Every structure is written in C-alpha cells, then in structure tokens.
Amino acid sequence: MNDNLYRIVSSILFIAISYGIVFLIGNSFEQVNFSESFIYKSWGIIFLIQLVGFIPSFLFKTDHYFDITGGITFLVILFLATQKIINDEPLTLKLTPFFLSSIWAIRLSSFLFLRVKKAGKDIRFDNLKTNFFKFMLSWVVQGFWVFMCLLPLLVISDTKKSNNYIFLLIGIMIWSFGFIFEIISDNQKSRFNSNKNNKGNFIKTGLWSLSRHPNYFGEFILWIGITIIALPYFSGIHYITCLSPAFIYLMLNKISGVNLLEEIGDQRWGDEKSYLDYKKQTPVFFPKLSNLWTKKK
C-alpha cells in the first residue's frame, strides 16, 4: 500500500470508528432519536470544522491555525452542550465538567497558537503541510481526538441523570492535578527555550527530569478526571465511553504527539551522549518519581 493510499484509508478508519461509537451511543437514549441526538450532531460539527480549517491551511501551506482550530472546536461543542443542558437539574453539578474542559481548551489552544506564532512554525508539520494527504490525515486525527476527549460530555448532554458529589470531587481533584502538571510542564519548557543559552539544547530539568513528555502526561490525567465526573451518567452501552482515556493515551503516544517529537529528538540529538543518557534514565511518558531523589544525590 503506497503512502497516500495508507493515509486515505487511515482517515476513513478514524471517521468510521468515531461514527460507529456515535451510532452505538446515539441509539441508546430512549427519549432521543438518533438523528436528533447531541452526540450525532456534535460528531458532524467536529469534522466539519476540521474541514473548514484544513482547506485554507493547505492552500497557504501554514500550520499556524491547526491548534487554535482544535481549541475552537472544543469550545463550540462545549458551548452548544451547555445551551442544551441549561434547564437540567441540578445545573451546577452537570455544568462543572463542561466548565473545566472549557478552561483547559482556552488555555492550551491559546498557548500553542502563541507558541507557533513566536516560533514561526510548528516543527511537527515540517514534513506534513506540503503533502495533501499527510496534512489531511493530521486534521482528521485532530477531529477524532476532539471527539474522543469530549465523548463523556457528549453522553452527559443526552441524558437526564444527575451526578453525585463523590465522583464530582474525585474527578475535580484528578483533573486539577493533570491541569496543573500540564501548565507547569509547558511553562518550564517555554522558559527553557526562551533562554538564548539553551538554543539547540533539550530540556531535562524540572518535571522534564521525571518524564520526557510531562505535558502530555498531564493532559492524559485531566481527561481521566473528566471521565470520572461523567461516570454516574452512564448506563449500558454508555460505559464504552470509559475507553476515552485509553484512546487519548494511544493518540498522544502513538499517533500525533510523543512519537513525532521522539523522532525529531533522535534526529537532533541522537548522537549526543547526554541525550542518550537522558532517554535511558527518564521514561517517555509516565513520570519516574525516583528521579526526584536520585537527582539530589
């Protein structure tokens, strides 16, 4: 299978898998027709926004608006969802995960957009944005990522069940840990890269001494928190939504994040002993807490 055909098939599979999930969950609500279900409408809107973002981005060969489009997609769906549940009771409990997700989406998308603007490009797309099928797959994957992240919230939007404080508090604590972990990681790397003395070097201090990609770890954890908050709303086939964090983990590590950055890192510093030692001592994703006291010795 040639590369372009592979990417076409991959794009179709991502869309088909997400639609399969939509079909299963969308047909499970007793008082909601599939075509009227919020999860079905959201699925269509998510991929439509990616299409609208992809076309001009490919024509102008730019990656500047990739991340901000992802953030806008999150916020559009979250806004529509809150409008749908605005009359539900108890409203505060039901709105909480939507509020938390909105905070995350605004923070991350604006951070990534400004970072790309400052750098002039996103190195992840150096070899992608000039090839129609490579770049298209990136946008399809982003749509799939948005859908899988929001899946627990899409179920909440179509159900009349109520939450309970135990799941809510546990979920908020886990989300907060992941959110703070991601923010600290991003800020540490930004400060490192802004120091001219570090130009051409890699970061291995702070949280980056515990994990080679602590920002992605934080993102993974916060979505586990959102899923836990949503658990009381699930019944029957809805529990398939619990796979959402697993899909997010796979996407971050194998499809659109860690794997690409690891490849870039190997190309840049693969011949340097300090980098090879860093890779040997520091796990790629899950933090190695023992590095905290190892560094102090």
H/E element, 185: helix 165-194
Q: Which residues contact 163 (CB under 8 A, 6 or more apart)?
A: 90, 93, 94, 96, 229, 232, 233
Percent of the chain with pLDDT over 70: 96
Give the mean pLDDT of 218-237.
Answer: 95
Instruction: Identify the burial level of 109 via C-beta atoms within 10 angstroms of its C-beta, where 0-12 means exposed, 13-18 middle and 19 or more buried.
Output: buried
Q: Is pLDDT of 295 > 80?
A: no
- For residues 123-143, give the mean pLDDT: 88
Tell me, what's the pLDDT at 90?
65
Average pLDDT over residues 173-187: 97
pLDDT of amino acid 96 = 92
Cis previous bond, 214, omega within 30: no
Is the confidence at residue 24, as pLDDT, over 70? yes
Whole-number Å distance between alpha carbons of 67 and 87: 32
Residues in Cβ contact with 188 at an 8 Å cutoff, skipping those fewer than 6 apart: 203, 205, 206, 207, 208
pLDDT value at position 293? 76
19 is written with which tokens? Answer: 């639609």
* Token pair 């560094």 in the structure block, residue: 295
Do the beta carbons of residue 198 and residue 205 sit within 8 Å?
no
* CA distance linking residue 200 with residue 196, whole number of Å: 9
| Alpha-carbon gap, residue 129 to 136, rounded angstroms | 9
Q: Which percentage of the chain shows pLDDT scores above 90?
A: 72
**253-261 long-range contacts, Cβ below 8 Å, gap at least 24?**
253/216, 253/284, 253/285, 255/141, 256/138, 256/141, 256/142, 256/145, 257/213, 257/216, 258/212, 258/213, 258/216, 258/284, 258/285, 260/124, 261/124, 261/213
